[in-house]
Amino acid sequence: MSKKIKLPEHPKKHHLPFRPVHIAILLLGILIGLAGSYRGGYIQPREFDVNQATPGVVKIYHIVCGTLNYQGQDYGDDTCDAAVGSGFLISSDGYVATSGHVVVQDAADVLAKELQDNPFLLNQFAASAKFDLKPNQGESNESAFLRRLYELPEEQLKLENRREAIFVAISDRPLVLDQAEPKKVFDQPDTDFIKKAEVVATDYAAQDILAINSKNNDGFSAHDVALLKINTRNAPALALGDASNVNQNDPVTLVGFPADADNQLTANNIITPSITGGNVSSIRATSGKISRLFQSDADASQGNSGGPALNKDGEVIGIVTYRFKDDEVANAAKSYIREINDLQQLLSSRSIALRTDSLANQYWQTGLELASQNKHSQAIEQYKLALKEYPAHRLARSYINQAEQAIKDGKDVKEPPYALILTLGAIILGSTMIIVSAVLISHHRLQHHRYKTKFKK
């Protein structure tokens, strides 16, 4: 059995398993390398700027035309119904996420809307169906009657001569309808700024809201989500986050196109998304308990439906879907966000993989980082590259103008000609010092081990 003895005083440098000078060289090398990387732009502090996300938020127009036919009888002439909502790009090749109710409209939806807006017509329909609309034990018989419309077979309720189109405005240019001949919109081709969309998948049941309003229901039977596809490339897609990490009182940012924001006070030949901030007030299971809703105090209106709810890192954690206000004057309206898991389940069910390799997005985010450092000349170059890759980019042109103005105001920080040499020199020197110190530390530990072994019995 070996016996520990006190090591002799000489040589002192072998008494410890390390030498402070070697550790100092290692730390100094790390600091020099980090300083060179930071100065060269390889390491930058990143804070989410909502302008990184807004180019990926789109406005959706849904137009349906046809003649409503109920039990073999036409009601009215060939008419059109148009609705607007919001959505967001989730892949560089043109997948768009939104709410189901923004892009789904069948004959039952059209008739239900007509009857809700016209009480006289509603009473006529109910009477012909021998249905009593008087409230029964607190339940709304009106909602119960309207729910029956969705149970009718197609031959009893349909839209004859049906035409439908969904358009996605991916820039700041709105879809313009010819008021004299609105049906011409169906012949409109794709442009760089307005794209026709195809519905790829939905998980939505229109009668769910009517069921909930009837106060005697089992809750939601489906998630209110939809997936569209447009023909584009290098789109500035938004990243999907992890809703399981969302906690009460977390900050949340809503981006979308509320319909009431386009009014008599504003020039409406340019569209721009509205951005509202708030917190997750509460996390609730939906009625029916098939998913969760995030209640928020962030403002939302009709038209916001389908827009993204972003966390502090700019990731989408949910889809703005509902705004609820009951009949009590004292009660405030509340915004509800469907967790992003509902959309992710839809993607998974269709085995859809999302591409996120957008050059336009890379250039855009680099430009924003450079602008935050007052390197406006370099930022302009990145903005122009983003615009080249994605001509519909909503903000690139205005940011180029802002950067040009900053240069005129003398706020541009230019790199000296020797900056790259200094940066590379610092990185090389730091790396060399790290390697040398690692070799010295390893060599010293080996000598220390031999020294200890030599004096063991």
Annotate the chain with three-state secondary structure: CCCCCCCCCCCHHHCCCCCHHHHHHHHHHHHHHHHHHHHHCCCCCCCCCHHHCHHHEEEEEEEEEEEEEECCEEEEEEEEEEEEEEEEECCCCCEEEECHHHHCCCHHHHHHHHHHHCHHHHHHHHHHCCCCCCCECCECHHHHHHHHHCCCCCCCEEEEEEEEEEEEECCCCCCCCCCCCHHHHHHCCCCCCEEECEEEEEECCCHHHHHHHCCCCCCCCCCCEEEEECCCCCCCCCCECCHHHCCCCCEEEEEECCHHHCCCCCCCCCCCCEEEEEEEEEEEECCCCCCEEEEECCCCCCCCCCCEEECCCCCEEEEEEEEECCCCCCCCCEEEEEECHHHHHHHHHCCCCCCCCCHHHHHHHHHHHHHHCCCHHHHHHHHHHHHHHCCCCCCHHHHHHHHHHHHHCCCCCCCCCCHHHHHHHHHHHHHHHHHHHHHHHHHHHHHHHHHHHHCCC
Q: What's the mean pLDDT in 48-61?
A: 88
* pLDDT band with cut points at 50, 70 and 90 for residue 136: low
* pTM, to two decimals: 0.79
Average pLDDT over residues 288-297: 86
327 has pLDDT over 60: yes
The pLDDT confidence band at residue 457, using thresholds 50, 70 and 90, is very low
Residues 75-97, mean pLDDT to the nearest whole number = 91
pLDDT for 15 equals 59
The pLDDT of residue 362: 92
Residue 2 reports pLDDT greater than 70: no
- Mean predicted confidence (pLDDT) in 183-188: 86
The pLDDT > 70 percentage for the chain reads: 81
pLDDT for residue 79: 80
Which of 13-22, 199-208, 270-279 has the lowest average pLDDT? 13-22
pLDDT of residue 78: 83
Q: Give the per-residue pLDDT at 39.
A: 58
pLDDT at site 198: 96
pLDDT at 334 over 60: yes
pLDDT at res. 117: 81
Give the pLDDT confidence score for residue 169 in this predicted structure: 96
Query: What's the pLDDT at 92?
Result: 95
At 415 the pLDDT is 65
CATH class, domain 52-349, is: mainly beta
How does residue 196 score in pLDDT terms, banded at 50, 70 and 90?
Answer: very high
pLDDT of residue 274: 93
Average pLDDT of the chain, as a whole number: 83
pLDDT digit string (tens) for 17-42?
A: 666 776 777 677 677 666 656 655 55
Stretch 1-23: mean pLDDT: 58
Which of 39-43, 59-63, 156-160 has the largest mean confidence? 59-63
Residue 191 has pLDDT above 80, yes or no: yes
- Segment 337-391, tens digit of pLDDT: 999 999 999 999 999 999 988 999 999 989 998 898 889 999 999 999 999 999 9
Domain limits, the chain: 12-39+418-454, 52-349, 358-408
